[in-house]
């Protein structure tokens, strides 16, 4: 990404149940209380710290973190303040300005290879170093006149994988930039680093003897990529169906990952399934050349990083993670599954890089790294009995009786929300087509997710518990209208949060990065129910999708 592009982006700164369906009891969710800002937290513009009573219910402590140019020991952040909430927006002016100044340098550093070899921690895949940039209200609790209080300040949080947080070199480099720009002054927001962020695919192990290997995608380097979905009962929905990706070479399994089918769309063909692209490109990202233009740091910069006070980037671990991924919402175990059906990518596979068929005359695919691909999807075909209804199960409302009459209702996805209409609301995450969907609250903040030299814009979802790995690609729908809101891309390990790409961005990207449509006036659409009385609602959006800019400005 060029310096000019970096600057531009910175200035713009969200019945018959098969074996695999034997899910953890934690996947059954009821109604989540809507997010709201309590009366005492509805505030005026921030000229002084926001002083509030401190309690564990309204604040959270990071498990693993660093402070850049300060100590993050005993720091907490509010669960109730979000930069794009109209009731809180005036609080974040300082953090927004600090972010604007930091982003060009942060984007440049994150796009380079200077710290991706993490020494004793080994190398890390580009995709595993995803970096979400959030604005939060944070502070340090203290006792005042016998009461526990906290002074909250607008702050910036860089959320990434534990392995990256534990490495010293990236944060020393970024701390040096913070000092160079004088962002460590009292007039600027403090910048935290936090662990627990990861793309939401999951490594699995399924014996190759259970897989048909006659429809693979070959690459010039000898690898072949295979996609499979479990055989499902007749008339099953594709929503939440596991998608197994296997990469082999010389009959040896190199990698296996799992994502979810979000649902079915219509684009040039009557029926195509949409899933995550990163589950397929992740393996190949290991071998992609990275920009090394900032590897040769000046001697002064190197000395400044080496001589900096260790306490200024001190690693703080407040508690050990005791979270069991198998207890996460939406967890499934496919290890013993034996009945799989082969499916094939319909077109380009997109995430940071692009996997595409070399020419119409050959079956070999190529890896295109000529430009960054700021999206995450793949279209699949190959199952003739996929039903056209994107149905899911809406769980009963909280407090409903537990008898059979209060079981969840089967509904269908209907239309999609554009970004302008996508405010805070109750949503469902469709992780399984036969069990009740997961209930969550969509938050208003738009969060940039930086991966190498590429940035994707996401929205944050709060759930009743941590979302399991292996849920990438799952569709998120409006609980009231059934309209598609987005697609899961990132989970927060051990925390009840996830990030999604918006539906408008997803559908626009399918059009932008697909080779299928010669007629650019045709746009992909969510496949609608063919049964008029399945649900009593109309699509939220009926107009044709407008072609979007890849970069959406922050209001």
Q: What is the rounded average pLDDT for all residues in the chain? A: 81
Higher pLDDT, 156 or 16: 156
Q: Which pLDDT does position 518 carry in this prediction?
A: 59
**How far apart are alpha carbons 107 and 198 in whole angstroms?**
18
For residue 179, the 8-state DSSP code is H
**How far apart are alpha carbons 522 and 544 in whole angstroms?**
9
Contact 485, 415 (CB under 8 A): no
> Among residues 365, 381, 391, 349, which one has the least CA distance to residue 268?
381
Stretch 269-289: mean pLDDT, rounded? Answer: 87
Percent of all residues in the chain with a pLDDT value above 70, rounded to a whole number? 77
Q: Which two tokens stand for residue 488?
A: 């899961």
Contact 448, 551 (CB under 8 A): no
The strand pair at 217-218 and 224-230 is best described as antiparallel
The strand pair at 242-249 and 252-267 is best described as antiparallel
Confidence band, pLDDT 50/70/90 cuts, at residue 162: very high
Q: Is the pLDDT of residue 34 over 80?
A: no
For helices 169-180 and 299-307, the axis angle rounded to 10 degrees is: 110
Q: Which pLDDT does position 402 carry in this prediction?
A: 54
pLDDT tens digits for range 365-415: 999 998 899 999 999 987 765 666 899 999 988 766 555 556 789 999 999
Residue 69 gets the label, from left (phi > 0), alpha (psi -120 to 50) or beta, of left
Cα-Cα-Cα-Cα torsion 316, 50, 36, 39, nearest 10 degrees, comes to: 140
Q: Which pLDDT does position 12 carry in this prediction?
A: 52
Q: Which two tokens stand for residue 297?
A: 């740091």
Confidence band, pLDDT 50/70/90 cuts, at residue 6: very low
Between vectors from CA 529 to CA 525 and to CA 534, what angle results, nearest 5°? Answer: 145
* 145-158 core/surface letters (b: 16 or more CB in 10 A; e: else): eeeeebbbbbbbbb
Q: Which pLDDT does position 139 carry in this prediction?
A: 97
Q: Which of 293-297, 310-314, 431-435 has the highest mean pLDDT?
A: 431-435
**How far apart are alpha carbons 141 and 92 in whole angstroms?**
20
Stretch 94-109: mean pLDDT, rounded? Answer: 95
Cβ-count burial of 468 within 10 angstroms (0-12 exposed, 13-18 middle, 19+ buried)? buried
**How far apart are alpha carbons 397 and 414 in whole angstroms?**
20
Q: Which two tokens stand for residue 79?
A: 């669960």
Contact 392, 430 (CB under 8 A): yes
Residue by residue, DSSP assigns 82-141 as -TT-TTTGGGGHHHHHHHHHHHHHHHHHHTBSTTSB-GGG-B--GGGG-EEEEEEEEE-E
**What CA–CA distances, in Å, run from 409 to 391, 430, 431, 434, 534?**
10, 13, 15, 11, 10
Backbone angles phi, psi at 517, to 5 degrees: -95, 115
> Among residues 440, 439, 437, which one has the least CA distance to residue 408?
437
Q: Is the pLDDT of residue 356 over 50?
A: yes
Contact 509, 354 (CB under 8 A): no
* 193-213 core/surface letters (b: 16 or more CB in 10 A; e: else): bbbbbbbbbbebebeeeebee
Confidence band, pLDDT 50/70/90 cuts, at residue 490: very high
Cβ-count burial of 533 within 10 angstroms (0-12 exposed, 13-18 middle, 19+ buried)? exposed
> Among residues 427, 419, 436, which one has the least CA distance to residue 482?
427
Residues whose CB is less than 8 angstroms from the CB of residue 153 and which lie 6 or more positions away in sequence, other chains included: 49, 50, 94, 137, 138, 139, 189, 190
Residue 249: helix, strand or coil by DSSP? strand
**How far apart are alpha carbons 532 and 368 in whole angstroms?**
43
Q: Which pLDDT does position 551 carry in this prediction?
A: 34
**How far apart are alpha carbons 141 and 157 in whole angstroms?**
18
Confidence band, pLDDT 50/70/90 cuts, at residue 522: confident
pLDDT tens digits for range 325-355: 788 999 999 998 999 999 999 889 999 999 9
Q: Which pLDDT does position 126 carry in this prediction?
A: 80
What is the 3-state secondary structure of 411-439?
EECCCECCHHHCCCEEEEEECCCCCECEE
Q: What is the pTM of this model?
A: 0.85
Stretch 287-316: mean pLDDT, rounded? Answer: 53
Query: 93-102, 113-122, 161-170: lowest mean pLDDT where?
Result: 113-122
Q: Which pLDDT does position 304 carry in this prediction?
A: 41
Contact 124, 116 (CB under 8 A): yes
pLDDT tens digits for range 378-391: 999 877 656 668 99
Could you tell me the end-to-end alpha-carbon distance of the chain, in angstroms, rounded to an integer? 23
Higher pLDDT, 23 or 162: 162
Q: Is the pLDDT of residue 523 over 90?
A: no
Confidence band, pLDDT 50/70/90 cuts, at residue 440: very high
């Amino acid at each position: 990404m060029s310096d000019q592009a970096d600057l531009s982006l910175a200035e713009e700164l969200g019945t018959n149940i098969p074996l695999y369906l034997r899910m953890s009891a934690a996947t059954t969710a009821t109604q989540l209380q809507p997010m709201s800002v309590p009366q005492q937290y509805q505030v005026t513009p921030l000229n002084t710290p926001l002083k509030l009573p401190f309690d564990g219910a309204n604040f959270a402590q990071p498990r693993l973190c660093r402070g850049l140019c300060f100590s993050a020991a005993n720091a907490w952040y509010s669960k109730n303040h979000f930069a794009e909430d109209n009731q809180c927006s005036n609080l974040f002016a300082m953090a927004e300005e600090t972010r604007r100044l930091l982003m060009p340098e942060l984007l440049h550093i994150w796009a380079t290879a200077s710290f991706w070899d993490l020494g004793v921690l080994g190398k890390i895949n580009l995709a595993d170093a995803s970096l979400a940039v959030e604005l939060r209200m944070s502070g340090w609790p203290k006792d005042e006149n016998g009461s526990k209080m906290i002074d909250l300040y607008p702050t910036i949080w860089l959320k990434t994988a534990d392995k990256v947080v534990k490495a010293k070199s990236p944060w020393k480099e970024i701390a040096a930039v913070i000092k160079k720009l004088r962002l460590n002054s009292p007039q600027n927001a403090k910048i935290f680093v936090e662990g627990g962020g990861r793309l939401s695919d999951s490594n699995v192990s399924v014996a190759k003897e259970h897989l048909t290997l006659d429809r693979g995608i070959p690459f010039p380097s000898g690898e072949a990529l295979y996609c499979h979905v479990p055989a499902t009962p007749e008339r099953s929905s594709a929503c939440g169906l596991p998608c197994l990706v296997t990469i082999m070479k010389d009959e040896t399994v190199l990698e296996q990952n799992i994502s979810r089918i979000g649902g079915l769309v219509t684009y040039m063909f009557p029926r195509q399934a949409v899933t995550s692209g990163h589950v397929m490109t992740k393996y190949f990202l290991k071998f992609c050349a990275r920009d090394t233009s900032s590897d040769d740091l000046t001697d002064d910069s190197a000395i400044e990083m080496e001589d900096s006070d260790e306490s200024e980037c001190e690693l703080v671990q407040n508690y050990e993670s005791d979270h069991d991924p198998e207890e996460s919402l939406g967890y499934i175990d496919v290890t013993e599954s034996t009945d799989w059906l082969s499916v094939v990518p319909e077109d380009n596979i997109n995430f940071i890089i692009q996997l595409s068929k070399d020419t119409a005359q050959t079956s070999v695919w190529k890896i295109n790294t000529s430009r960054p691909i700021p999206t995450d999807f793949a279209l699949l075909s190959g199952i003739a009995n996929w039903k056209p209804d994107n149905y899911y199960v809406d769980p009963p409302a909280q407090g409903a009786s537990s008898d059979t009459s209060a079981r969840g209702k089967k509904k269908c996805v209907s239309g999609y929300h554009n970004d302008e209409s996508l405010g805070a609301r109750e949503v469902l995450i469709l992780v399984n087509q036969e069990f009740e969907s997961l209930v969550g609250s969509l938050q208003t903040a738009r969060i940039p997710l930086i991966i190498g030299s590429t940035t994707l814009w996401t929205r944050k979802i709060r759930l009743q518990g941590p979302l399991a790995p292996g849920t990438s690609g799952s569709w998120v729908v409006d609980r009231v209208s059934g309209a598609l809101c987005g697609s899961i891309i990132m989970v927060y390990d051990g925390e009840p949060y996830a990030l999604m790409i918006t539906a408008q961005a997803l559908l626009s990207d399918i059009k932008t990065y697909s080779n299928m449509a010669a007629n650019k006036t045709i746009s992909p659409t969510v496949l609608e129910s063919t049964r008029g009385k399945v649900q009593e609602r109309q699509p939220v959006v009926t107009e044709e999708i407008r072609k979007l800019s890849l970069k959406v400005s922050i209001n």
